[in-house]
């Protein structure tokens, strides 16, 4: 069994409910246990900013799946929950499930990059991780706390706990 961290997000009216549904479905999977989950945070859109604010959370999982198989489960769950990937990159979405880390594995393939290549740049990922694990270390990057401190203050301050 290994530990993995995932990010969950979305910016549709039902997204907050879908975060909880996704965690319940992951916990129901025979090869996955949700160990803990952060609170739900609200933040402005990142990348393509002309859209509604997002709700985000992270969860720590324990799994017997490989990283690639876990990614498949996450992508399949997105589709089952109504995700449509035909829109613009970083555009509106009902649910987004990202594999952030898988133990301390560092991988770069066409399909999978670990740790997530932008997690250290996103306050909406770092804040909920630090809520659960104040000493969190991003493989190959370092301290999540230091990464959050390097993010522009206005962006970090815009991430707020809502649940």
Return the CATH number at 140: 3.30.70.560
Count of the separate structural domains present in the chain: 1
Separation between Cα atoms, residue 147 and residue 33, nearest integer Å: 28
Please give the residue range of the domain that contains residue 152. Answer: 2-161
Residue from 47, 39, 44, 49 nearest 16 by CA? 39
Instruction: State the average pLDDT over residues 11-28.
Output: 96
- 88 is annotated as an active-site residue: no
**Residue 8 pLDDT > 90, yes or no?**
yes
- 96 is annotated as an active-site residue: yes
pLDDT in tens, 107-155: 999 999 999 999 999 999 999 999 999 999 999 999 999 999 999 888 8
- 98 is annotated as an active-site residue: yes
- 93 is annotated as an active-site residue: yes
Catalytic residue among 53, 83, 84, 88: 83
Catalytic residue among 68, 88, 93, 118: 93
List the beta bridge partners of residue 137: 143
The two tokens of residue 78 are 């997105």
Contact 6, 90 (CB under 8 A): no
Q: pTM for this structure?
A: 0.94
């Amino acid at each position: 069994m290994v530990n993995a961290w995932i990010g969950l997000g979305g910016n549709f009216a039902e997204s907050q409910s879908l975060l909880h549904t996704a965690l319940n479905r992951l916990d129901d999977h025979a090869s996955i246990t949700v160990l803990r989950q952060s609170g739900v945070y609200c933040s402005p859109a990142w990348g393509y900013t002309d859209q509604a604010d997002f709700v985000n959370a992270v969860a720590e999982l324990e799994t017997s799946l490989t990283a690639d198989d876990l990614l498949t489960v996450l992508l399949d769950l997105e589709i089952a929950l109504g995700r449509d990937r035909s829109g613009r990159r970083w555009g509106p979405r009902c649910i987004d499930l990202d594999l952030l880390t898988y133990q301390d594995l560092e991988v770069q393939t066409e399909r999978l990059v670990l740790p997530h290549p932008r997690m250290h740049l996103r306050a909406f990922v770092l804040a909920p991780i630090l809520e659960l694990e104040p000493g969190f270390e991003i493989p190959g990057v370092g301290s999540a706390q230091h990464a959050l401190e390097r993010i522009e203050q206005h962006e970090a301050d815009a991430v707020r706990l809502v649940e």
